[in-house]
Amino acid sequence: MNSTLTAGNSPNGRDALLHVAERLIAERGLHGVSAREIVRTAGQRNNSAIAYHFGSWDGLLEAVWLRHIGNINAIRARMIDEIADDAPDRLDRLVASYVHPFVEEIAVHETSYWARFNEQWLTGVHMDFVERPTTLVPDDTRYPRIDGMDMLKKLFAEISAELEHLDPEIRTRRVALTARFVVSGLATWEREASTGSAVDIQEFETELTALAVALLRAP
């Protein structure tokens, strides 16, 4: 993927803005990128292009999220539906339902920034973002208020319910810390993939899933 998308090599201005916003935020964080820079890098001459296509900065960031979450939720829903309530490997399969759709979404793109975009979002929210899905700085306008999270919240709740060896008050924190580990691992894989030095993504998924389960099962 070229570092600068222009109107001439992007399907349309809206798509160019989405691609550029995701890449720049993935590389520099939500506080390191301005709306004006995204518009300019996307080859848009109108400084109000974000407002025209998305309504606002929040609308742009939500659109970046929604362009990925539909595919992820579809895969995740199928995987969760196949897990019996009394399955002996229920925790392992629930964790796989978190990791695998994420990996699938990364693998489908020639150059992926999706894990890095998620990693940057996680830097500005509470440690236990499962229990407190809000920004560290109250009402921080740089962070998106996004939809499409219901399935992820449900999955995290089901994983938490499996952690009977932990006190109830720390289960969601353990899930959140494990999710951060997964996101960070996949973000690092994306960076290495951009240099041609990444390990095979399927092998990495297997290792990452096993490590995530081990983190959840730790005392």
29: left (phi over 0), alpha (psi -120 to 50) or beta: left
Query: What's the pLDDT score for residue 2?
Result: 37
Nearest to 208 by CA among 73, 95, 86: 95
Which residue is it, tokens 């579809």? 74
Quick one: tokens of 74?
A: 């579809």
Res. 146 pLDDT band, cuts 50 70 90 = low
Q: How far is CA 76 from CA 100, 118, 144, 210, in A?
A: 8, 17, 23, 18
Share of the chain above pLDDT 90, in %: 77
The three-state DSSP-derived secondary structure of 163-215 is CCCCCHHHHHHHHHHHHHHHHHHHHHHHHHHHCCCCCCHHHHHHHHHHHHHHH
Instruction: Report the sign of the C-alpha dihedral through residues 109, 215, 179, 28, in that order.
Output: negative
Question: Could you state, in order of their start, the residue ranges of all structural domains in the chain?
Answer: 1-55, 65-217
What is the C-alpha separation between 28 and 33, in angstroms, rounded?
Answer: 7
1-55 matches 65-217 in fold: no
Examine the pLDDT at 137 and tell me if it is beyond 90.
no
* Single-letter code of the amino acid located at 182: V
CATH classification for the domain delimited by 65-217, as one of 1.10.357, 2.60.120, 1.20.120, 3.30.200? 1.10.357
The CATH label, of 3.30.70.20, 3.30.365.10, 1.10.10.60, 1.10.10.10, for the domain at 1-55 is 1.10.10.60
pLDDT band of residue 144 (cuts 50, 70, 90) is low
Residue 126 sits at the vertex; the CA angle it makes with 172 and 168, to the nearest 5 degrees, is 20
Percent with pLDDT over 70 in the chain = 93
The mean pLDDT of 12-20, rounded to a whole number, is 94
Name the band, by pLDDT with cuts 50, 70 and 90, for residue 147.
low
| pTM tops 0.85, yes or no | yes
Cα diameter, the chain: 58
